[in-house]
Structure 1
Amino acid sequence: MAALMLAPGAGVPVDAAPAPRGETVAQDAARLERLRAILDRITLPDGFRIDVYALVPRARHLAVAPEGTHVFVGTRGDRVWVVTDQDKDQRADTVRQFAPAVDFVIPNGVCFAPDGVLYVVEQNRVLGFAGAGTIGDAGDPPATVIVQKGELIPPSEESRNHSARVCRVGPDDRLYISLGQPYNVPPRRKLALYDKTGIGGIIRLNRDGSGREVFTRGIRNSVGHDFHPETGELWFTDNQVDRMGDDIPPGEINRQTAPGQHFGFPWYGGGAVRTHEYAADTVPEDVVMPAVETIAHAADLGMSFYTGKMFPERYRGGIFSAQHGSWNRTTPVGARVMFTAIAEDGSAETVPFAEGWLDESGSYLGRPVDVAQLPDGSLLVSDDRAGALYRIWYEGD
């Protein structure tokens, strides 16, 4: 397939050849039934139900279109998928490759602006697709380059490690993008570059790519963030340092109350646990400690505030988040969906909400990555191990 050349900022392809149709994903009945058998073991609070919404290969982060019919799914490969529920029966009718003419590289991060522009954040590029949420299955809108390839991070810092970006459009109508740094703990020679470019942080920029600034500093690899629906504050998960032991350092859910705050990495490896590499160094002033410490190495990834009305009152305004599951632990943990309740003073507590994808032998039957809310208030959960999206809804006690 010939690569599609994109004109920076133009929103139209230079190449005028017809766009290819791309791959579709069969919703295989036998495979759906095997997944439903796994879901029979998932425990949920009373009144909640779970089912398979769609088969989506390597499904990672989710963006629900404003009109609610289409869900866009990023991956760590070279595909973005668009999942369509045209008849509104809460199961996908079609799953197809989005924008097949575009050569995506780790298009993990997908997010919508209220006006229907879809942003796709790759390893080292940002694209925008105006009107993506209303395209149906007839074709895809042209891509606009928001950040040129090689300008999101310096090409010298490209790595398979921690390259799964995520994005959100904030209440200020600016685009927020997390930039994981590529090391377990970065060497000192990299710190000045990372501080300047926002690697190991979250940047924000205008939706046309201008006005870039570093908004968040001192994080290791955040793969989930969202804005509090009332205060507008940014909350985000962070994956902490490996190879320090089974039970340290803790994972984190963080609350940011002002631009430029520093959250402690690499001086802290998670919570108040100092890294070996920076143990003798002076910690920067005014480091913000996590709002919640989570179990070590569970890999807290995607998160969303719940703003729907389907779930009981106690869930409204709280955070649903996905724990992908540990690799750096003697006894595996995670592979579940968590819920974080937030008190009026900003204090928070996280508890399991949906679990059972980790079996008694320590094997993963699924690995949740992200959560997103559908227009009816139900919850979608992506699973990159099973290659699926699940829907969780509430039926009452």
Structure 2
Amino acid sequence: MKMFKRLLFTVAVILGLLIFTPLVLIQFGPAGWGTTSKVMLNMVFGYGGEAPSASAIKQRLEVADGFSVGLYATGLGKIRFLKVTDSGDLLVSRPRSGEILLLERDRNGDGLPDGQRVLLAGLTRPHGLDIAGRWLYVAESDGVGKIAFNSDDGAVSGDYQRIVSGLGDKGNHWTKTVRASSDGWLYLSSGSTCNVCEEADSQRATIMRFRPDGSEFSIYASGLRNSVGLDWAPWDNSLYATDNGRDLLGDDIPPCELNRIEEGGFYGWPYVNASALDPDLGELNASAVAKNIPPTHEFRAHNAPLGLRFLRRNTVAGFERAALVALHGSWNRSVPDGYKVVSLHWQADGRIVEKDFLSGFLQGDKLLGRPVDIAEGDNGDIFISDDYSGSIYRVAIGEGGASALASVALAPPQPGRRDSGLASYTGEQRRDLLARGEIVYQSYPCSSCHMSGKTASAIPLVGLDERYTVAELAAFFTAPTPPMPVFPLSASDREALAVYLLARP
């Protein structure tokens, strides 16, 4: 009995230290420890900061030239990943409560969602989510499920079906991210169980893939300690993933990573950190070291890159070949670092230049938020989730970022030609569709086959209005004639591209 009481006392003391030590450090600790303690409480217990005020956002947050930032929603709790539907609603995962939220699109233009509701509940720590066809896919910590989803009214129907089960979710890095690709596969990331170790479960520290029904499940790439963000570069459809480097090697090593993911590729962990041997396990596997694929880009150590999103609908100069990355921020540096969204810009010579995109979440020991994920709407709006204050920010394209086509009027239909449907749009609708259509056209390698003079076999885009209406051309993009590939275009993208092509002189 005495032994049992001593055990209870010991457990109580340990729990007390875990809970109260960070609270004490917040108030009285040395520089940097206040932020670190807040982050630790946020990670372990879900502790979060207050909702940011409009004045705090205006005074503290700095956004890249050509953009403006505002608070879209707050008070959402421990939110994580985002997905914008075709109709502009925003889906939000909430792992701690096992829910997927739906924030209704801003129809009235007040800068806020028109409503909020729980779309799915009772899930096992849902994290990543994506839409493919009429299905919403959700990555839970131990599997993947899908349910029929109607983007028009934001409603689900039928039963939620588990298509992948039995995934490991013990230890560290239990989150799973699922993304649907234009190649017909779904890709799924799974982090490691530990800081550094040789995994017993071959599915941990990998990116896997499977068919929409869960079949043909396999490991696609390995040696990825904790790859949370996945996305494809629109100019060549290459898959990229963020990866969080290991801890406990000091403030400045190893770097976190952006990797270009190749089928069968090995990315080093736990034997190599970026391009350097791990001091603990680097000598254990010479063949693994030889196979290591170094990162495409290195982030500062412990910045914790999470969500990754290539911009496809942006009209601001300098962001034509760019991606945004959410840096969640460090928990184990003597001087905290990260806590911002950065933009990565691909140069003509292959280099990647990193710039601040949305910064100011951390100033001294004052922590406003921790960015997690990024989503982009059809109109170019960028949504950023923050799991510290339970908020979502909306970054809008400023007045200076309008497309050059926005002021171009559609030419009147020529006598004797069939009605293409262009005349049915108002002037404002035409300008919006032209601008969006130009973005879609530039985001994919359309000009490589259709720009006259670029190749001997170029197929000029002339006379389309004699053969197609807007609706017919938009429908053509869903099943184009080979060798034209099927691009992952939403219904609104297809309409905008059709208007853009039919309006060309």
TM-score, normalised by the number of residues in structure 1: 0.82
Q: Structure 1 residue 145 and structure 2 residue 161: aligned?
A: yes
Identity of aligned residues (%): 29
Match for 2:169: what amino acid?
E
Deviation larger for 236-245 or 115-124: 115-124
The answer (yes or no) to whether the contact 1:218–1:265 under 8 Å persists in 2 is yes
The answer (yes or no) to whether the contact 1:66–1:112 under 8 Å persists in 2 is no
- The 5 Å alignment of 1:1-397 reads 34-40=52-58, 41-55=60-74, 56-68=76-88, 70-77=89-96, 78-85=98-105, 87=107, 89=109, 90-100=111-121, 103-113=122-132, 115-136=133-154, 140-150=156-166, 153=167, 157-159=168-170, 161-187=172-198, 190-191=199-200, 193-194=201-202, 198-256=203-261, 258-269=262-273, 271-281=274-284, 282-284=286-288, 285-310=290-315, 312-361=316-365, 363-397=366-400
In structure 2, runs of 5+ residues without a counterpart are 1-49, 401-505
Deviation, 1:347, is 2.9
Q: Within 1, Cα distance between the matches of 2:183 and 2:63?
A: 35
Match for 2:254: what amino acid?
P
> Matched residue of 2:207: which SS?
strand
Deviation, 1:286, is 3.2
Larger CA Rg, structure 1 vs 2: 2
Match for 1:245: what amino acid?
G
Deviation, 1:85, is 1.5
Question: Per the alignment, do residues 302 and 286 of structure 1 end up closer, same or farther by CA in structure 2, a change over 3 Å counting?
Answer: same
> Matched residue of 1:129: which SS?
strand
Q: Within 2, Cα distance between the matches of 1:135 and 1:303?
A: 27
The answer (yes or no) to whether the contact 1:340–1:350 under 8 Å persists in 2 is yes
Question: Per the alignment, do residues 328 and 142 of structure 1 end up closer, same or farther by CA in structure 2, a change over 3 Å counting?
Answer: farther
Deviation, 1:264, is 0.9
Deviation, 1:144, is 3.7
Q: Within 1, Cα distance between the matches of 2:189 and 2:388?
A: 23
Deviation, 1:199, is 1.6
Q: Within 2, Cα distance between the matches of 1:35 and 1:264?
A: 43
Q: Within 1, Cα distance between the matches of 2:287 and 2:359?
A: 37
Deviation, 1:381, is 0.3
Match for 1:328: what amino acid?
N
Q: Within 1, Cα distance between the matches of 2:135 and 2:348?
A: 33
The answer (yes or no) to whether the contact 1:264–1:283 under 8 Å persists in 2 is no
TM-score, normalised by the number of residues in structure 2: 0.65
What are the superposed Cα offsets for residues 15-52 of structure 1, whole Å, 9 maximum, x if unpaired?
Answer: xxxxxxxxxxxxxxxx86x4323212111222321011
Deviation, 1:283, is 4.6
